[in-house]
């Protein structure tokens, strides 16, 4: 027997922006995806905490972190990734910052991009 199920659908929200520096589309009306803020009770620099956690967990890691508002982009270069699949390398990084992603007030809501490279 089939039962109807309602499935929530996510719809991108476009909002006007004031200048072209935030435009990601063709010329014309300026629009950008709205980015939500994620409150946290974390004290200190979140990008430094991400970097420090990765460096402590992954030998020889060179780490670049950018972002804010709970959303971050991370690039990690380490010889430890040699011979590992992309997924295995990314799991190492995620496991090193898992404590920063845990809980309702976590300082890291999402890692928007994660690149793992070998030197």
Q: Which residues contact 85 (CB under 8 A, 6 or more apart)?
A: none
pTM here is: 0.69
Q: Is 95 domain-assigned? A: yes
Contact 55, 63 (CB under 8 A): yes
Residue 117: exposure state from Cβ atoms within 10 A (0-12, 13-18, ≥19): exposed
Q: Is 41 domain-assigned? A: no
Res. 48 pLDDT band, cuts 50 70 90: very high
Note the pLDDT of residue 20: 45
Res. 33 pLDDT band, cuts 50 70 90: very low
How far is it, in rounded angstroms, from Cα 54 to Cα 119? 16
Q: Is 3 domain-assigned? A: no
Tokens of 79: 């010889």
- Number of domains within the chain: 1
How far is it, in rounded angstroms, from Cα 67 to Cα 80? 25
Q: Is 4 domain-assigned? A: no
CATH code of the domain in which 85 resides: 3.30.300.90
Each residue's pLDDT tens digit, 95-119: 999 999 998 889 999 999 999 999 9
Note the pLDDT of residue 96: 96
In which domain, by residue range, is 91 found?
46-117
Q: Is 29 domain-assigned? A: no
Q: Is 69 domain-assigned? A: yes
Q: Is 62 domain-assigned? A: yes
């Amino acid at each position: 027997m089939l039962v109807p199920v309602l499935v929530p659908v996510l719809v991108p929200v476009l909002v006007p922006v004031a200048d072209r520096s935030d435009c990601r589309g063709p010329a014309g009306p300026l629009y950008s995806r709205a980015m939500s803020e994620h409150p946290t009770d974390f004290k200190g620099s979140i990008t430094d905490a991400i970097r420090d956690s990765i460096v402590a967990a992954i030998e020889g890691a060179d780490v670049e972190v950018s972002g804010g508002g709970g959303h971050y982009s991370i690039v990690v270069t380490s010889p430890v990734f040699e011979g590992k699949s992309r997924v295995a390398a990314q799991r190492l990084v995620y496991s090193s910052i898992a404590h920063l992603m845990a809980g309702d007030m976590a300082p890291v809501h999402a890692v928007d991009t994660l690149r793992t490279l070998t030197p």
